[in-house]
Amino acid sequence: DIVMTQSPDSLTVSLGERATINCKSSQSILYSSNNKNYLAWYQQKPGQPPKLLFYWASIRESGVPDRFSGSGSGADFTLTISSLQAEDVAVYYCQQYYSTPPTFGQGTKVEIK
Amino acid sequence: QVQLVESGGGVVQPGRSLRLSCAASGFTFSDYGMHWVRQAPGKGLEWVALIWYDGSNKYYADSVKGRFAISRDNSKDTLYLQMNSLRAEDTAVYYCAKDRGSTSPYFDLWGRGTLVTVSS
């Protein structure tokens, strides 16, 4: 199974400041035949189900604010919130769908300083 | 509207069985693969099972293989998870999730989940 490791486990950021979450896979999840990275990002707010933010590592899901961006390739990926808002307090998960079983990172909790 | 609604959770003794259901609406259920994903209290997300759009293929996490069975009824737009020989470590919120197709197997729609508690 592909192991997904996120860092840090938690992050405290001031309103309006940048938040950066890293995600590393135990093997490359870049499929060479289509040059796509099989990585998604989800946001889970307290008491709610996860919500898809990004797929193919950097394609923003419809309705996701553009202060969120996804980047990276191969085995190293980043989720960035350019200007943290109060409503962004949540746990963020990366997930690979390169192979079965799909696997998630352990989550990164983002809080306001 | 587009939604998934899980039901069937509850408190069950170790070794007993439970069947979860997930009712889909607002999209063509029979076009998409469907998954169960669980989350133990205070923990992260764990994928449990996948069934293809037509039910022809099924996949399971090692932790539930041989005990859980995923199925679907496309005539009723409903997904199921039959859980047998339940253990304390199966205690979790169980979410059903839709993928965006066989070539895009990420989860673009989630239900609100149903809580399963395995306890004597």
pLDDT digits (tens, 9 = 90+) for A68-86: 999 999 999 999 999 999 9
Instruction: Chain B: give the shortest CA distance to residue A75, in Å.
Output: 17
Question: Confidence class of residue B112 from pLDDT cuts 50, 70 and 90?
Answer: very high
Is pLDDT of B104 > 90? no
- The answer to whether the Cβ–Cβ distance between A55 and B50 falls below 8 Å is no
- CB-based contacts of A77: which residues, under 8 Å, 6+ apart? A22, A23, A24, A25, A37, A39, A57, A70, A71, A94
- The answer to whether the Cβ–Cβ distance between A97 and B95 falls below 8 Å is no
**What residues are paired with A71 via a beta bridge?**
A78
pLDDT digits (tens, 9 = 90+) for A34-61: 999 999 999 999 999 999 999 999 999 9
Q: Does A105 touch chain B (CB under 8 A)?
A: yes
The predicted structure's pLDDT at residue B2: 97
Average pLDDT, chain B: 97
Instruction: Chain A: give the shortest CA distance to residue B90, in Å.
Output: 17
For B88, the 3-state DSSP assignment is helix
Q: Does A104 touch chain B (CB under 8 A)?
A: yes
User: Looking at residues A88-98, what average pLDDT do you find?
Assistant: 98
- The answer to whether the Cβ–Cβ distance between B45 and A107 falls below 8 Å is yes
Chain A residues close to B105, C-beta within 8 Å: 97, 102
Q: Going by DSSP bridges, is the β-strand pair B114-118/B10-12 parallel, antiparallel, or unpaired?
A: parallel
Q: Tokens for A86, please give them.
A: 């109060």
Instruction: Chain A: give the shortest CA distance to residue B75, in Å.
Output: 26
Which of B38, B51, B107 to mutate: most A Cβ within 10 Å? B107
pLDDT digits (tens, 9 = 90+) for B45-98: 999 999 999 999 999 999 999 999 999 999 999 999 999 999 999 999 999 999
